Structure 1
Amino acid sequence: MAKAKGYGETRAYNAPLKTDTYIFQDNGLIPNSRLPLIVRQGAITPGSDDPAKPFEETFRRNGWTGTWRNGIFDYHHYHSTAHEVLGIVSGSASVRFGGESGEIIGLTAGDVVIIPAGVGHALLNQNGDLLVVGAYADGREYDTLTDDPNVIAEARRRIAQVPLPDTDPMDGAGGPLTKLWTQG
């Protein structure tokens, strides 16, 4: 696994403040991705009446649809047919990305994580009433796969066919994702 905080260490694009990126290599059970996982701290302020609404509206406005409200599965899983965005509405969580030997990332209310197709993720623990809003790029249907060696070859094939999103889930066509995911 290569880690690039703030992206300046591995790319020329100057991402917004409080943006971290991580690249995870295929570990034989979780395919992961050549595309970086993007963590935007404090990207969206939860609403007062309906804290999840600003996340849902922002994601939808930028073409990330199929929104849901829930938590994060507590087992390693990934999606081979869609890129996913998670917005932390309330509470906080420690999530391991990249599989069993991946990176543990602390997330709090207002944080947004953009997960490339294939990148494993699992909730390790949570504090408070964790509420997450999730959505998928360009309205794509998603699957949920685990670290099963019998499905990884087919999953890698599907991941390679997932198109890059047209927009960043927070900032639209000019957002960091559209620059970070098209370089190098």
Structure 2
Amino acid sequence: MPILDQVKNVARKLMESRPSPDDLLARLRSRKPITRLFRDDGTIPNHPRWPLVIYRAPLVLDPAEVDPAAAIDALFAHNGWGRSWRNGIYDFTHYHSQIHEVLGVARGSAEVEFGGPRGRIYALKGGDVAVLPAGTGHRLVSANDDLLVVGAYPDTGKYDEVTDSRQRLDARERIAACPPPDKDPVYGEAAGLCLLWD
């Protein structure tokens, strides 16, 4: 993420009203995860063991009560997923080989391809959260004009962005070595990734 975007992000967080951890927990609701394991397709490595996880609207987001982007950002941060950003999703296939990523849709809707060109397209709407293990190819297929996504990363790992299929073999080793996060970005220690990415 460019330095100027990082500075703007920090300034915004200092100025905005963020819900308290207690308020976040009161807004949280249990959701059965949608999971999908993608195989290496010869171009996109994907993760060899851990699936993509999608939670459908796990947080009650009423824009009249709380800014959805601030609430999602605060929830991720509360569970140890920081280095957050707010924007859209790139419209070209890419993946991260040294870190996992979470995408929370604050507003709008989109169709996102996960797993690379031979993967699967999922429709995401406001409130939905997708957790991508390292190596998961992803790209925006389409979106409405007001799409806003909050992205974040666990404390461990190094951000990188891989778009070149010639890097796939080297990336596979980095992906396999990427440790699981300490907490699920939505549900914390007790559920989600802690059980699914064992």
TM beyond 0.5: yes
Report what 2:43 is aligned to.
Answer: 29
Report what 2:165 is aligned to.
Answer: 149
Report what 1:12 is aligned to.
Answer: none
Secondary structure in structure 2 of the residue aligned to 1:175: coil
4+ runs of 1 displaced by more than 3 Å? none
Counterpart-to-counterpart distance in 1, 2:156 and 2:73: 13
Which of these residues, 84, 96, 119, is aligned with residue 79 of structure 1?
A: 96
Shift in Å, 1:57: 0.6
Report what 1:38 is aligned to.
Answer: 53
Report what 1:109 is aligned to.
Answer: 126
Q: Given that residues 37 and 114 in structure 1 are in contact (C-alpha distance below 8 angstroms), is that contact kept between their aligned partners in structure 2? A: yes
Q: Given that residues 44 and 112 in structure 1 are in contact (C-alpha distance below 8 angstroms), is that contact kept between their aligned partners in structure 2? A: no
Secondary structure in structure 2 of the residue aligned to 1:87: strand
- Would you tell me which structure has more helix in proportion to its own residues? 2
Letter of the aligned partner of 2:165 in structure 1?
P
TM-score normalised over the length of structure 2: 0.80
Counterpart-to-counterpart distance in 1, 2:38 and 2:159: 20
Alignment of 1:35-184 (within 5 A): 35-46=50-61, 48=63, 49-146=66-163, 148-182=164-198
* Paired positions, count: 166
- Which consecutive unaligned segments of at least 5 residues does structure 2 have? 1-29
TM-score normalised over the length of structure 1: 0.86
Counterpart-to-counterpart distance in 2, 1:128 and 1:149: 30
Counterpart-to-counterpart distance in 2, 1:45 and 1:26: 35
Secondary structure in structure 2 of the residue aligned to 1:155: helix
Q: Given that residues 90 and 128 in structure 1 are in contact (C-alpha distance below 8 angstroms), is that contact kept between their aligned partners in structure 2? A: no
The share of aligned pairs that are identical, in percent, is 48
Report what 2:6 is aligned to.
Answer: none
The Cα RMSD (Å) is: 1.3
